[in-house]
Amino acid sequence: MTIEELENRMEEFLPFEEVLRDYYQKNGTYMEEKDIPENLVELPFAVPHNDLKSIAGTGKEIQRLLNYDAMWTIRENIHFIPGYDIFLQKHARYLKTQPHDHDFFELCYQYRGSCGQIILNENGEEHLTLSEGGFLLIPPGQKHIAFADGNCMMMNIGVRASTFTETFSGIIPEESVLGGFFSNLLTSGKNSLSYLYFPTDERIRVKVRELMLIYVSDGVYTSGILNVQLSLILLMLLELHGQECRSGQLKGGHRQLPAVLRYMEENMTDTVQETARHFGYSPDHLNRIFRENLGKSMREVRLDISMKKAAAFLKDTDFPVSVISEYLGYADTTSLIRMFKTKYGITPAQYRRKIRSTFTKKDY
C-alpha cells in the first residue's frame, strides 16, 4: 500500500463519522460521545474501527465490545493489538470527546488542518489549537478533551506506558538538560497540566508518514520497527524543535524556558547576564523563572550542564583538560578542576582514567 492509497482511505467517512457529521450539520453542535448509537460502537472488529489497520484492511478480526460509560479512563487493553507497543488511530471527524485520560501515553499529530484540545485538572484548564504539523504529547493520567471538525485530520498515536518509560525515555541523552527536563515533565505524575506541544515541519511529516506505512504492514518485525521509527521521531522533535516546545507544567506561563535551556547548552561561554539579555529578561527575573520551575538558579543549572559536558568530553575524547575548560567558558583550568572535583569527588584526570579502565575491563 502506498501513502496516497492510505490517505485516500483515511479521507473516507466511517459510518460513525457520517452520523456525527449529520448531527453536527443539523444541530450546529457536537453529538455527545455517550449518545453515539450502540450499533456503531458495539461491533466485532479487528481493532477499533478508526485504527489505521482497520482502515487499511490489515487487521485480524477479534471480538471486542466498547462500553463508553466505562471509558473515561481509557485502558491499554481496548486499543492495543496483542504484541504491539504502539497504535495509530484516526481521530473521528465531528467528534468532541468527553473529559478522559489514558493509562498510556498519547501523541496527537495534526496531519491536516487544525483541531482543538482542552487540557484539564482540578485547578483549571488550558485551551490549545493544534495547527497542521503540530505534535502534542500527553502523559498517562492527564485529563483532556479533543474535538475536530470536518476539515481536519488528526492522528492519535498511543504508546504503552511501560514501553515509553523503559525504551523511549532511555533514548534521551543523559547529558542533555533539555532532554531531562522534557522527560521529567512527561513522567513526573504531578497534579498539574502536563503536556508537551511541538510545532513541526515537513521533516517530521515524512517520518510520520513512514510510521503509518510501517503500522499497516503485516511483517514479522513490524512491532519492533515501529518502536525504532517512533524513537527517531521523538529524538527529531527534541533536536529540531526543542526550542519551540510549549509545556503545560511551567509556572507563571514561562513558555520560553525550553528555549533558554537549549540556548545554554549550545552557548556555554555566555554568562548569565548575556543569556538573560538574549531573551529580553533581566538576570534577576530569569533567575526567578528558573527557581520557580526547576528549583535551581541559572548558575546552578549552567554548572550542571558544564559538568555533564565535561564528563562526556573526558569519556569520549582525548582533549586536554585545558581545551575542555576553554570550550566550557572557564577562565582557567584550575576552576574547572575545582568544580569537577566538588561535583564528582575526583579530578578530571582521575575520572578519565577510572571511566576508561571500567570500559577496558568490560571488553575482556
Contacts of 187 (CB under 8 A, 6+ apart): 139, 165, 169
Same domain, 168 and 112: yes
Domain check: are 244 and 115 in the same one? yes
Say if residue 190 is in the same domain as residue 283: no
Concatenated DSSP letters for 65-80?
A: ---GGG-SEE-HHHHP
What CA dihedral angle connects 242, 243, 244 and 249, to 10 degrees?
80
Q: DSSP secondary-structure letter at 165?
A: I
Question: How many independent structural domains does the chain possess?
Answer: 2
In this structure, are 187 and 234 located in the same domain? Answer: yes
Query: Beta strand pairing status for 101-102 and 73-74?
Result: parallel
Q: How far is CA 347 from CA 240, 264, 330, 334, in A?
A: 35, 24, 16, 10
Domain with residue 278: its CATH number is 1.10.10.60
Looking at 249, 281, 296, which one is the last position of a domain? Answer: 249
Spatial neighbors of 362 by CB under 8 A, at least 6 apart, are none
Residue 273 · residue 282 · CB < 8 Å: no
- pTM, to two decimals: 0.72
Residue 115 has which C-alpha cell? Answer: 483541531
Work out the angle between the directed axes of helices 257-266 and 298-316 (0-180°, nearest 10): 40
DSSP state letter for 86: E
- Structure-derived torsion over alpha carbons of residues 15, 18, 19, 22, reported in degrees to the nearest 10: -170
pLDDT of the chain, 364 residues: tens digit per residue: 899 999 999 999 888 888 889 999 999 999 876 677 766 654 433 335 778 888 887 765 443 444 444 447 788 877 788 889 999 999 989 988 888 888 899 999 999 999 999 988 776 788 899 999 999 988 888 889 998 888 899 999 999 988 887 776 666 665 565 566 666 665 555 445 578 888 888 999 999 999 999 999 888 899 999 999 998 998 888 888 776 777 765 555 466 777 788 888 888 888 889 998 888 888 898 888 888 777 788 888 888 889 988 998 998 899 999 999 998 888 889 999 999 999 999 999 999 998 888 655 544 4
Residue 303 structural domain = 252-362
Q: What is the CATH number of the domain that holds 55?
A: 2.60.120.280
Question: What is d(CA 237, CA 136) in angstroms, rounded to the nearest whole number?
Answer: 11
Q: Which one-letter DSSP state was computed for residue 92?
A: P
